[in-house]
Amino acid sequence: AQKITQTQPGMFVQEKEAVTLDCTYDTSDQSYGLFWYKQPSSGEMIFLIYQGSYDEQNATEGRYSLNFQKARKSANLVISASQLGDSAMYFCAKKRPGANNLFFGTGTRLTVIP
Amino acid sequence: NAGVTQTPKFQVLKTGQSMTLQCAQDMNHNSMYWYRQDPGMGLRLIYYSASEGTTDKGEVPNGYNVSRLNKREFSLRLESAAPSQTSVYFCASSEAGGWGYTFGSGTRLTVV
């Protein structure tokens, strides 16, 4: 099985500050995709951002950016200008092209402090 | 709104009871998935259906069966529920081999 590691079970950040959520992964694949999902207390899984292993630029989506370091096998999520609504669980996930499983890490619970 | 619809949202079962979790998507996706989410373990794949008429086991299939009723619908059945199956269940769909997964809102199942 693919191993996705999120070493921070919980993180706190002050409102309006930036925060980085860590994600590392094991792989021998050359081609793969990396994802971040947000799960608020209501429980749904919300897609945030995607990075392809061959993408030369780091992915960005609004306040979300992905710090992708392929050699280190890391795909950290950066949230800028944190808002109270960012308080949630965040999951990193990885998928091989054509495969039928999206492998998830164990998640990081982010709490934004007013 | 287009998306993945799961029913029911909550369910309590007694050990040994059976039930079926329903999932339907209206995005014309070929592939559908059932995941379970347990505390501290992220989401794990139970079964998937790469296309209509096919189903395959994922990481944790024991105790479950699935049916791909048609392109839209993919159901998950617990024949004899056990407390270890207490979890939150998510259905998802994607284009065949596609990157983007759309998740349903989840079913919180408690087996007592």
In tens, the pLDDT along B51-94 reads: 888 999 999 999 999 999 899 999 999 999 999 999 999 999 99
Question: Which H or E run contains A31?
Answer: none
pLDDT for res B75: 97
Question: Which H or E run contains A20?
Answer: strand A19-21
Give me the residue from A43, A101, A102 closest to B106, CB to CB.
A43
pLDDT for res A97: 81
**Chain B residues touching A100 at Cβ < 8 A:** 31, 33, 45, 48, 50, 56, 58, 97
Task: Judge residue A58's burial from the number of C-beta atoms within 10 Å of its C-beta, 0-12 exposed, 13-18 middle, 19 or more buried.
Answer: middle
Going from the C-alpha of A36 to that of each of A21, A26, A61, the distances in angstroms are 10, 16, 11
pLDDT for res B1: 62
